[in-house]
Structure 1
Amino acid sequence: MSEQFDYIIVGAGSAGCVLANRLSADPAVRVCLLEAGGSDASPRVQTPAGTITLYKSKVFSWNFFSTPQKELNNRRLHTPRGKALGGSSSMNSMIYIRGDASDYDRWAEQGCVGWSWADVLPLFKKSERNLLGQNPALHGTLGELLVDRARDPNPLSALFVKAAGRVGIKANDDFNGGDLEGAGIYNLTQKDAKRLSAYRAFVAPVSDRPNLKVLTGCNVQSLVFEGTQVRGLNLLQDGQPVTLNCSREVILCAGALGSPQILLNSGIGPRAELEAAGVPVVCDLPGVGKNLQDHLDGLVTVRSASPLTLGFSWGSLGSILASPFKYLLQKKGWLTTNYVEAGGFARTPLAGALPDVQFHFVPGYRSHRGRLFEWGHGYAVHTCVLRPKSIGELRLSPQRELEIDYNFLADMDDAKVLIEGLKLARKVLADSSFDGLRGKEMLPGAQVQSDEQLMAYIREYAATVFHPVGTCKMGVDAMSVVTPQLDVIGVQGLRVADASIMPTLISGNTNAPCIMIGEKAAQMIVAGKVTNPATQPTVVPA
């Protein structure tokens, strides 16, 4: 089987869905959107509270594991990624965060012309339909992506915001309003109390376009080259070999793990690693798979006897049984929760002018044993390091399997920030606002107090907060993989547009920035931007 398209987009995630919408708006071009997963038509995906069941799902998640992390007691960290139409936007917590303006200005300062805050703000606004009446200078009202308040936040989420204020963290009702710092209830990408993934926002409404074809169950095996020109790709669709031909561009939107893996499997990457894995070298591009960054996360979790919190107990049985009816009839209740309802951005004593940690508050008990559900009640705060200095990498093993090495705590400054962040999280939870709900701290535990004890706790329990970026770095230096126009250096007809192109990790959740990247890529493709030949390295003929 062989088909011809103008554009082939690999990955129906946050960026890929935007690209599919924007490029297929021109009826003169034929667009194909590929997704390795399947349908998102499941209550587990569409109902916000279903997110907790997706992270270890064999149907909806790629359940990757990292290599043993030497600074985290050689633990292998679970790394879920979305495996359905919508990608990770079909399994995330729906939080709408752009990061700080300085994140994007830093990209521009590193040579990524056109990616400053002034450049990308119009793109954020283009895709957004803000339903909250927030500052129109910073928010869009005509886009496909609805941004709304939580439907029915748990009372403890407001308590967290109150307690944070009492310990010096100001209230913030718009983390995208020009000032990131503060605590508040997160705004969400949802519609009618249902998840609004990138697929539901950008592709489902235009799925009847005759020039747009969406294929699921597609695992890309390799790119097809004519010299150094990409002409299509080989894939397995539901186990059957398929070749798709492309007259203009293949655009990789498979994420920070998937996109570099496709490049490496196709012979684009560090020569020595490709040869060790037995992959014929098409382009010696040393930065592919390097520059991996993610937010390292630490947990404070507390038991509580209060059935006000989300949890399973005889006391909450009535509200649990009533929740489907409350959800269907009123669009309220437990099933509307995204679990990490409140949170914010704060400065530890190690911070400069900008916040260095982010909080995600859960008004329910997070298992101290890593279980999906625990009997009983409680509440928890996740704390992550916003601007990590530790840099990891992806590699192909000699068996061509993907090895994910976050290299967490390679720079111990990250540990120092997380220790201070955990202290600050504890300070918020110690406020008298929680007096009527207080119970035993299960993690780190009352016995863990000194910096040395907290360091040992981090080594034993810290994890990723699921924001991997950077593995197809955008830039102009020797380790760059794509140009500021997102063209892959050294080949033609190939771009990358997803979290992998971020030179540095943004300050917060990554879904909204990936949607912006999709908008930016579409804008450049339509405008006919071309790669600067001066950035091209030596190419090895196939």
Structure 2
Amino acid sequence: MTQDFDHIIVGAGSAGCVLANRLSEDGRRSVLLIEAGGPDSSPFHAMPLGFMAAMADPAKDWGYMSEPEPNLDGRHLPLPRGRVLGGCSTTNGMIYMRGHARDYDEWRDLGCPGWGYDDVLPYFRKMETSWRGAGPWHGGDGPIQVTPVRHRALLTEQILASAAAAGFPHSDDLSGERQEGFSLSEVTVDRRGRRSSAARAYLRPALKRPNLRLISGAQVTRVLFQGRRAVGVEYRGEGATHQARARRDVILAGGAYNSPHLLMLSGVGPGAQLREHGIGVVVDSPGVGANLSEHPIVYMDFATSGDTFLKQLRLDRAALSVLRWALLGTGPFASQITSCAALLRTLPELERPDIQLMVMPVRLDAKIWTPGLGKRLQDMFSIMVIQLHPESRGRLTLRSADMADTPRIELNLLSHERDFAELRRGIRAVRTLFGAGPLATRVLREARPGAERQSDAELDAYIRANLRITQHPVGTCRMGRGDGAVVDPSLRVIGAENLRVVDASIMPTVPGGNTNAPVIMVAEKAADLIRQQD
């Protein structure tokens, strides 16, 4: 079966949902959106505090694992990626953060004109309805709803008071004029207490349009070419192979793992590698799969006196909170549990923050509990220590020419000494925080890594054994010009025609914060570029 459309979008994740909406909104273009996953119908996809269950559902995940990490004691790291409408915006922790202005000026300076901070700010504003209202930094009528994390059980005031006592800067708005310091967390949750994913915010309204068609539960196996011109895709769905033809362009929006994988299987990638697997070379593009960057993360835990959010997880309270969320969209289950976010420079001479902290007044292994059944867990604070600008780079390569074989993903984390040093400084910053103000009076002990670990060598050993990733992979189809660039600043695949990539894979470097908002921004800007160039 062959069908014809103006645009074919591969992947209904954060970027794909935006593109489907924007490219179909004037009614003049026919758009096909193909998604391998299924519907975002679980209540855990809608309820903000259900994000851990949503993320852990293997039926909604691609199941990727890293290759053994040489600097992490040979560990394989799980690499969660949402396989569902909305992609990771349906399963992630909903933290809304843009990063620092310098992150985007760096893209511009790396050969991407039109992608500096002044260029992308209008698209951040366009995408959001901020609780702050419309203004020079924020939008007031965009699809994505942004609200603050506020609940008395989250102990926000105590954390901010300790940060001030420890001498850390404060910011009223990390996406505003002061993009550094401790601040309230913001999340993509609407005022009814529902997750504001790309599927809910962009795709659902657009599906009413007759010129947009969605095919879910179908996996694209290759891009079809005539010479170097992309003319359509082949996909498998309902037990059969189908083709769809694109009159204007094919747009890959599968993310930092799936987009380079599909490019290589379609003949666009490092020529020697493709030939090794018997794949005909359409475009010899050495940068496909290279330049993989991720935010490394280590967790710290502090045992504490007094109640934490664990109190809200007592069975009777939790049941009432679920009911309150379902009926009213309010209460502790209607938002996130990350009280405060911080972007910090751990050395005064740095031009932008190098460490992000996420402070949660609850232990990571907390579960619903019942009084009298087993021993109540110790109350703890958990803190995420995230390195924002790692030097290390990894690579994605083919395992075989079969789409069913997942690619080899080598993150190559901590291959630079600077990455260790910045994480150590982040750990020590957290110790400073918990040694000051109200938090200092509550701390019983440092549970992880433990106060006995003080030297660089001891902290490095802890980091190697415990480091994970934040699920922010970028860079594998790098935007730019010259050697190693895969797409140009208009996101067209260099060396091919009518083929674009629009997702996190095009980012030359990883922004200094959570990446979902930047991905949506990229897609908003890409939609304008596509419409202007048609």
> 2:297 and 2:78 mapped to 1: Cα distance?
13
Q: How does 1:27-42 map to 2 (within 5 A)?
A: 27-42=27-42
Partners of 1:188 and 1:463 lie apart in 2 by: 22
Instruction: Write the letter of the residue equivalent to 1:493.
Output: N
Question: 1:289 aligned to 2:294?
Answer: no
Q: Of 335, 358, 381, which aligns to 2:383?
A: 381
* Residue 88 (structure 1) aligns with: 88
Q: Let me know the Cα RMSD of the aligned residues.
A: 2.0
Q: Which residue of 2 aligns with 1:489?
A: 494
- The one-character-per-residue Cα deviations of 1:470-519 (angstroms, maximum 9, x if unpaired) are 00000002100000110001111100011100011111011111111111
Amino acid at match of 1:363: P
Identify the residue that residue 477 of structure 1 maps to in structure 2. 482
Quote the Cα distance in structure 2 between the aligned partners of 1:300 and 1:351. Answer: 26
- Aligned amino acid, residue 403 of structure 1: R
Aligned ranges for residues 298-377 of structure 1 at < 5 Å?
Answer: 298-304=298-304, 306-310=306-310, 316-349=314-347, 352-367=350-365, 375-377=377-379
Instruction: For 1:126-205, list aligned pairs within 5 A.
Output: 126-133=126-133, 136-150=135-149, 152=151, 154-191=153-190, 192-205=192-205
Count of matched residue positions in the alignment of Structure 1 and Structure 2: 524
Q: SS of 1:287's equivalent?
A: coil
Contact 1:94 1:190 in 2 (8 A): yes
- TM-score of the superposition, structure 1-length normalised? 0.93
Deviation per CA, 1:376-421: give whole Å up to 9, x if none: 5321110111111111111112465301111111111011000010
Look up the match of 1:536: none
Q: Do the aligned partners of 1:306 and 1:378 also contact (CA within 8 Å) in 2?
A: no
- Aligned with 1:495: secondary structure? strand
Determine which of 431, 439, 447 is the counterpart of 2:436.
431
Question: Residue 26 of structure 2 aligns to a residue in which SS?
Answer: coil
Cα deviation, 1:319-376, whole Å, max 9, x if unaligned, reads 22321233234433331232333211111137513211001112210249xx999945
Could you list the structure 1 runs, at least 4 aligned residues long, displaced by more than 4 angstroms after superposition. Answer: 371-376
Cα 1:334/1:450, change in 2 over 3 Å? same
1:397 maps onto 2:402 in alignment: no
* Contact 1:71/1:459 (8 A) holds in 2: yes
Contact 2:193/2:335 (CA < 8 Å) preserved in 1?
Answer: no
Q: Secondary structure at the match of 1:59?
A: helix
TM-score between the two structures when normalised by the length of structure 2: 0.94
DSSP 3-state at the match of 1:123 = helix
In 2, Cα distance between the equivalents of 1:438 and 1:472? 45
- Amino acid in structure 1 at the alignment position of 2:36: A
Structure 1 residues 285 and 383: alpha-carbon distance in aligned structure 2, compared to 1, 3 A threshold: same
The alpha-carbon deviation at position 233 of structure 1 amounts to 0.6
Tell me: CA distance 1:147–1:58, structure 2 relative to 1, closer, same or farther (3 Å): same
Give the aligned partner of residue 373 of structure 2.
Answer: none
Indicate the percent of aligned positions where both proteins have the same amino acid.
38
**After superposition, what is the alpha-carbon deviation per residue over 1:69-111, rounded to whole angstroms, capped at 9, x for unaligned?**
1011111111101111111000111121111111111111111
CA contact (8 A) 2:155 2:339 kept: no
**1:306 to 1:83, Cα distance in 2 relative to 1, 3 A:** farther
Matched letter for residue 391 of structure 1: R
Gaps of 5+ in 1: 530-542
Judge conservation of contact 1:232–1:245 (CA < 8 Å) in 2: yes
* 1:448–1:276 CA distance, 2 compared to 1 (3 A): same
Q: 1:533: which partner in 2?
A: none
How far, CA to CA, are the matches of 2:368 and 2:392 in structure 1?
Answer: 29
Deviations 1:508-535 (A, max 9, x none): 0111111111111111111017xxxxxx
Q: What SS is found at the alignment partner of 2:183?
A: strand
Contact 2:112 2:479 in 1 (8 A): yes
Aligned partners of 1:300, 1:285: CA distance in 2, in Å?
A: 41
